[in-house]
C-alpha cells in the first residue's frame, strides 16, 4: 500500500483510533481492579489453522497490554463437538471467566451455530449469540460484534452525525454485514445491503455516502464503484501472493482497490492498519463490558 503524501489526510488511521479505545479500556480496567476485579477472557482454539494461531496470539498480547487475564485453551482438531460443549459449559459456569471466545473456523465435524448458541450470552464477547443479535436489532445495550463495532467507531471519528446519510454495506454475514447494517440504522442512516446475489451492485454503491466493504474478495471494489467525496470502510483482510524479482511473496490487501479508490473518496481505511486493529480493540472493550455487566458495575 503506497500512500501519496497528498492523501494522508484521507486516511482513517486504525492505529490512532484503536489506541484511543485501548486507553479508555485500560483506564476502566484499572478502576475496577481497585475493587479486586480482574477481567478474564477465555480463548478457545480447536485445531491448527495458521491464521487463527496468529489471531489468538495478537489477542493475548492485547489482553496483557490492557490488563485482562487471558486464558488459552488449545484443543486438537480431533476434539468432538461434545467435548467442546463440555469445555464451554465449564467456562459458562466459572464466575472467574468473564468472556468466552471460540476462534473460527472450526473443524468440519463441529457445528458452528451449535457452539455459538451454547455460550452464555453475557460472556459472548463476539456478539454472535442470537440473544445479542436480537438485542442489537431492538436497540438494547448488548455485546456487539467486534468488527462492525470497530468500523462504526472509525466512521464516527470522521463524521459527528451520520443521520440521513446513504450507507451501502456489501456483505451479509452474521459477523459483519448484518450487525453493520443494524448499527448504521441505529445511527439514522438509510441503509442498503448488497451481496453476491445483487444485480448491478455498482448502481447502489455509486450513490453511497458511506460504503462498507465486507465480502472477502481482494480489491473487489474499484474506483468506478464509489462516489466522489464518499467514505469507504474496508473490512477485507485478504492475503494474496505476488511475484517480485522471481520470488513469490505475500501481502495483505482489502476488499477495495485502495490506490484507485483513494483518488475519489473523502476518507478511506487502509489495509493493514485499519479495521483489523479496531476489531481487537473492540474485543477488549467487549470483555470489559461483559465483566462490568456480570459484576453489576
The residues annotated as belonging to the active site are: 59, 103, 126
Q: Are 100 and 127 in contact (CB under 8 A)?
A: no
CB atoms under 10 Å from CB of 64, counted, come to 11
| Strand duo 247-253 + 238-244: pairing | antiparallel
* Predicted local confidence at residue 21, as pLDDT: 98
**Which residues, given as ranges, of the chain have pLDDT below 70?**
1-5
CB atoms under 10 Å from CB of 293, counted, come to 15
Q: Which of 56, 151, 149 is nearest to 104 (CA)?
A: 56
**pLDDT, tens digit, for every residue of 148-166?**
999 999 999 999 999 999 9
* Predicted local confidence at residue 51, as pLDDT: 86
Q: What would the 3-class secondary structure string for the chain be?
A: CCCCHHHHHHECCHHHHHHHHHHHHHHHHHHHHCCCCCCEEEEEEECCCHHHHHHHHHHHHHHHHHCCEEEEEEECCCCCHHHHHHHHHHHHHCCCCCEEEECCCCCCCCCHHHHHHHCCHHHECCCCCHHHHHHHHCCCCCCCCHHHHHHHHHHHHHCCCCCCCEEEEECCCCCCHHHHHHHHHHCCCEEEEECCCCCCHHHHHCCCCEEEECCCCCCCECHHHCCCCCEEEECCCEEEEEEECCEEEEEEECCECHHHHCCCCCEECCCCCCHHHHHHHHHHHHHHHHHHHHCCC
* Predicted local confidence at residue 277, as pLDDT: 96
CATH classification of 37-124 is 3.40.120.10, yes or no? no
* Predicted local confidence at residue 2, as pLDDT: 55
* Predicted local confidence at residue 7, as pLDDT: 80
In the chain, CATH 3.40.50.10860 covers 37-124
Q: Which CATH class is domain 145-276?
A: alpha beta
In the chain, CATH 3.40.50.720 covers 145-276
* Predicted local confidence at residue 3, as pLDDT: 62
Amino acid at each position: 500500500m503506497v500512500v501519496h503524501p497528498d492523501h494522508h489526510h484521507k486516511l482513517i488511521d486504525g492505529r490512532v483510533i484503536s489506541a484511543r479505545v485501548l486507553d479508555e479500556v485500560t483506564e476502566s480496567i484499572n478502576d475496577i481492579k481497585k475493587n479486586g476485579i480482574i477481567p478474564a477472557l477465555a480463548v478457545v482454539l480447536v485445531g491448527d489453522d495458521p491464521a487463527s494461531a496468529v489471531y489468538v496470539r495478537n489477542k493475548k498480547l492485547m489482553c496483557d497490554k490492557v490488563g485482562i487475564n487471558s486464558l488459552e485453551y488449545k484443543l486438537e482438531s480431533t476434539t468432538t463437538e461434545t467435548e467442546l460443549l463440555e469445555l464451554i459449559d465449564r467456562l459458562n459456569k466459572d464466575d472467574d471467566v468473564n468472556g468466552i471466545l471460540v476462534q473460527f473456523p472450526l473443524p468440519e465435524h463441529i457445528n458452528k451455530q451449535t457452539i455459538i448458541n451454547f455460550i452464555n450470552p453475557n460472556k459472548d464477547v463476539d456478539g454472535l449469540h442470537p440473544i445479542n443479535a436480537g438485542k442489537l436489532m431492538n436497540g438494547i445495550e448488548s455485546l456487539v460484534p467486534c468488527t462492525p463495532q470497530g468500523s462504526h467507531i472509525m466512521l464516527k471519528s470522521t463524521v459527528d452525525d451520520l443521520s440521513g446519510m446513504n450507507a451501502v454495506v456489501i456483505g451479509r454475514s452474521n459477523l459483519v454485514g448484518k450487525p453493520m447494517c443494524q448499527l448504521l440504522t441505529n445511527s439514522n442512516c438509510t441503509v442498503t445491503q448488497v451481496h453476491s446475489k445483487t444485480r448491478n451492485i455498482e448502481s447502489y454503491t455509486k450513490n453511497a455516502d458511506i460504503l462498507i466493504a465486507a465480502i472477502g474478495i481482494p480489491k473487489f471494489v474499484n474506483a468506478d464503484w464509489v462516489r466522489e467525496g464518499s467514505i469507504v470502510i474496508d473490512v477485507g483482510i485478504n492475503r494474496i501472493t505476488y511475484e517480485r524479482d522471481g520470488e513469490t511473496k505475500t501481502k495483505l490487501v482489502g476488499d477495495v482497490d485502495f490506490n484507485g479508490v483513494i483518488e475519489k473518496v473523502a476518507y478511506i481505511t487502509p489495509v493493514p492498519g485499519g479495521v483489523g486493529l479496531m476489531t481487537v480493540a473492540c474485543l477488549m472493550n467487549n470483555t470489559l463490558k461483559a465483566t462490568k455487566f456480570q459484576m453489576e458495575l
